[in-house]
Amino acid sequence: MKLGYLFVVLCVCPMLAQAEIYKAVDADGHVTYSSTPIKGGKKLILEPLPTMMPQQVPADFPRVDNQTQRGRDDTRRKILQDELNAEEKLLEEAKQNLTEGESNPEVFKGADSRTYRNVAKYEEKIKPLQDQVDLHKNNIEALKTELSKLPK
C-alpha cells in the first residue's frame, strides 16, 4: 500500500511544479516576472526544455590501467602529505607569533606618567596574527579532507 501511495505522489509532483509565468514592463522599462497575473502583464508560453541522453563512452576511449592510476594516486598522496607537513609547521610558527604578540601588549604613557594599554593598537596587531592561525588551520583541514578521499 505504501509503495502505491509513493508512486502516486511521485507522479503528481512534476505536475505541481509547473506554474504559469507572467511578464510586465513598466513605464521606466523595468521588467517584472511573477507566477500570479500582473496588471498590464502578459502570460508567457514556455516551451519545455530539451533533454539529453547520457553520452556513451566510446570503445576506443583511452583508459588508464590500475597500476598507472595507483601510481598517480600515490604521487598525489605524497604531494598532499608534503603540503600538510608544511602547513602544520606554518601553523606552529603562526601560533608562536600569536603567543608572542599576545604577551607584548601595546602600551603608552599617559599625561600622568602612568602606563596604559592601547587596546585598539593591540587588537590591530593581534587580528592579522589570529587570521594567519585560522588560515593554516583551514588549510590543514582541507588537506586532510583531500587525503581522506584518496583510495587506500
Q: Give per-residue pLDDT as tens, 86-134.
A: 999 999 999 999 999 999 888 878 888 888 888 888 899 999 999 999 9
pLDDT of residue 142: 96
Number of domains in the chain: 1
Q: Are strands 42-44 and 115-117 parallel, antiparallel or unpaired?
A: unpaired
Under 8 Å between Cβ of 88 and 140: yes
pLDDT of residue 116: 83
Inside any domain, residue 37? no
Q: Which domain holds residue 112?
A: 68-149
Calpha distance 88→114 (Å, rounded) = 42
pLDDT of residue 109: 81
Inside any domain, residue 112? yes
Q: Quick one: pLDDT band at residue 14, thresholds 50, 70, 90? A: low
